[in-house]
Structure 1
Amino acid sequence: MLARLAPAIFVLLWSTGWVVAKYAAFFADPLTFLALRYSFAILLFVCFCLLSGARWPRSPTAIGHAIVSGIFLHGLYLGAVWWAIGQGVPAAISGIIAGLQPLMTAAVAPWLIGEKLNGQQKLGLVLGFCGIALAVAPKMLAIDASATPIHLLPLAVNVAGMAAVTYGTLYQKRYLQNGDLRSIAALQYVGALIVTIPLALMLENLHVTWNLELVAALAWSVLGLSMGAIALLLYLIRRGQVSRAASLIYLVPPLAAGEAALFFGEALTVPMILGTIIAVAGVYLTNRNAAEPAPSAVLDTQRPL
């Protein structure tokens, strides 16, 4: 039963990251919350690695690559997305933007790692970016008077976060093809913490309201996302079901939008729905002929928030 449900559970866990980001902002500054999350994640991952006999990188270079990848894949990416959501970017819109990360990776791959795009993939890129433009434009231009407009700076920071995870994805593919995912994940959270603490000190008041709601959000972020999603990924890799989970990744943006509507009443407007469908179609066209991704590649595709 678990073998059949694991890919769907994995993607469902992944999609809740945007909801948690919006919920946690009610009780703590976003970067401060992430610093707490990374600290607990490091502690639990180190314990997990020790108990499960994970192999640690032996060379300082390999350790450095894992830490640097964590700076981009977690620190800058999640920091940008969570800060943007805290500044008013709807969780649904943020999820749609993050859903375009595979498209940005495909767009820059020809220049960075020499991968060429065929006609279908180029069409997918165009559709994907047109979809996000359709979804975001009404709020950016305040076309719908009943909706709260999105300011340019938080939206730009959200997009910059996608650029960071795109670079981190390519960096990991280049320098971390080998190694134990468990120990690499632990070191990546170290890198994330290294960059998040200074950003929190510079940009925030380090506000935290300790209550049951905050503890629940923190527990879900650490156990459900940072630990649970990775544990399921390792299980899928072991059973050779990585491609099944990757095929369901296309459901993450609409799932995030639906969850935001359910829990926070975020409006699912016609442009958002159509834009999401077009963007998902673009991601599908860009990636459908690709070979089954390596474990490290799947780990980076729309990383859990």
Structure 2
Amino acid sequence: MLARLAPAIFVLLWSTGWVVAKYAAVYADPLTFLVLRYTLAIALFILFCVVTGARWPKSWKMAGHAIVSGMFLHGLYLGSVWWAIGEGVPAGISGIIAGLQPLMTAVAAAFVIDERLSTQQKLGLVLGFFGIALAVLPKVLAIDTGATPIHFLPVIINVLGMGAVTYGTLYQKRHLQSGDIRTIAALQYLGALIVTIPLALMLEDLHVTWNLQVVLALAWSVLGLSMGAIALLLYLIRRGQVSRAASLIYLVPPLAAVQAWLFFGEALTLPMVIGTIIAVAGVYLTNRKQA
């Protein structure tokens, strides 16, 4: 049952991350908020591991692999995305940029872990990438009537974040195929914290306006995203092809865009709608079982 429901639950949970980032940026510096998020996630994961009797890595080498993967999967990836949103990249567009990850992962997987894709899967990934490009380029280039152009630097940082999570996904697949997912997740957030604290000290004033909104955003970020969604992602990576797991990210843009429209009034343009439909078709081809 979990194997069937996990992809849908993961996509639903993960898509809320862009809305939370946009919402939290109103009351707190993005990287500072992530430091709080990772700290709480580490504490709760350690408590969860102790209560459930989770097995910690038997060697420092495996623990190091978990920490390094967390630096990329969480620290550099979320740090880039949240900083870009804080610098003005719309939450819906940032979610669409996330669609670069599946293609990056599929291309890199062929060289890093010798993962081979069928012709159908290659077609699906290319189709998904084309849909994402159609959705995001008009907004970045301000082609839409009345659109506000986005500065290129935050967009580039957002794209680099996709490169970080791509490498982290492959690193996870290569070095962490065994071990307890619960303790691995705890160590990964330690790696994320190691990366994020220096960046927050260098780039931000460590500002947080404490109110109910911040507390709720922090609670959802930790429980819904850092614990729930990431546990599902690690489960999916371990169970199947890394390219298939990554291709689920193609389904995030339409959900993130709709949520950004509902909560922040961000525009849903025709290229975004058509592009995400094409991307969804690409996911279907990538994950569809062949006879």
Question: Please, what TM-score do these two structures have when normalized by structure 1?
Answer: 0.85
1:129 match: 129
Contact 1:38–1:190 (CA under 8 A) maintained in structure 2: yes
Residue 280 of structure 2 corresponds to 280
Structure 1: which 5+ runs fail to align? Answer: 291-305
CA distance in 1, matches of 2:234, 2:113: 26
- 1:118 aligned onto 2:118: yes
Distance 1:119 1:15 in 2: 29
Tell me which residue corresponds to 2:226: 226
Distance in 2 (alpha carbons) for counterparts of 1:284 and 1:165: 22
- 2:42, 2:189 within 8 Å by CA — same for their partners in 1? yes
Select between 48-57 and 108-117 the one with higher mean Cα deviation. 108-117
Equivalence for 1:83: 83
- The answer (yes or no) to whether the contact 2:19–2:256 under 8 Å persists in 1 is yes
Match of residue 106 from structure 1: 106
- Give 1:271's aligned amino acid: P
Q: Retained in 2: the 8 A contact 1:107–1:125?
A: no
State how 1:1-305 maps to structure 2 within 5 Å: 8-230=8-230, 250-289=250-289
> Do the aligned partners of 1:101 and 1:166 also contact (CA within 8 Å) in 2?
yes
Q: Work out whether residues 103 and 283 of structure 1, in 8 Å CA contact, stay in contact via their aligned partners in 2.
A: no
Tell whether the 8 Å contact from 1:80 to 1:161 is kept in structure 2 after alignment: yes
Q: CA deviation at 1:225?
A: 1.4
- Of stretches 177-186 and 124-133 in structure 1, the one that deviates more from structure 2 is 124-133
User: Residues 55 and 250 of structure 1: is their aligned pair in 2 closer, same or farther, counting only changes over 3 Å?
Assistant: same
RMSD in angstroms over aligned alpha carbons? 2.8
> How far is 1:88 from its partner?
1.3
CA contact (8 A) 1:84 1:155 kept: yes
State the distance in 2 between where 1:231 and 1:74 align: 13
CA–CA distance in structure 2, aligned partners of residues 194 and 161 of structure 1: 17
Q: Closer, same or farther in 2 for the Cα pair 1:233/1:289, shift >3 Å?
A: same
Which whole-Å CA distance do the structure 1 matches of 2:3 and 2:68 have between them? 33
Shift of 1:233: 6.9
SS at match of 2:98: helix
Query: What is the CA–CA distance in structure 2 between the aligned matches of 1:3 and 1:130, rounded to whole Å?
Result: 29
Does the 8 A contact of 1:250 with 1:284 survive in 2? no
Contact 1:100 1:283 in 2 (8 A): no
Offset of residue 5 of structure 1:
6.7
Q: CA deviation at 1:141?
A: 1.6
* Sequence identity percentage: 79
Change (3 A) 1:3 1:145: closer
| Residue 67 to residue 125, structure 1, CA distance change in 2 (3 Å) | same
In the alignment of these two chains, the number of paired residues is 286
Counterpart amino acid of residue 80 in structure 1: S
Higher mean Cα deviation, 185-194 or 206-215? Answer: 206-215
Q: What is the distance in 2 between the residues matched to 1:161 and 1:88?
A: 16
In structure 1, the residue corresponding to 2:114 is in which secondary structure? coil
Q: What is the distance in 2 between the residues matched to 1:143 and 1:59?
A: 54
The alpha-carbon distance between structure 1 residues 277 and 10, as it changes in their structure 2 partners (threshold 3 A), is same
SS state of the match for residue 16, structure 1? helix
In structure 2, relative to structure 1, the CA distance for the partners of 1:251 and 1:132 (3 Å cut) is closer
1:198 counterpart SS class: helix
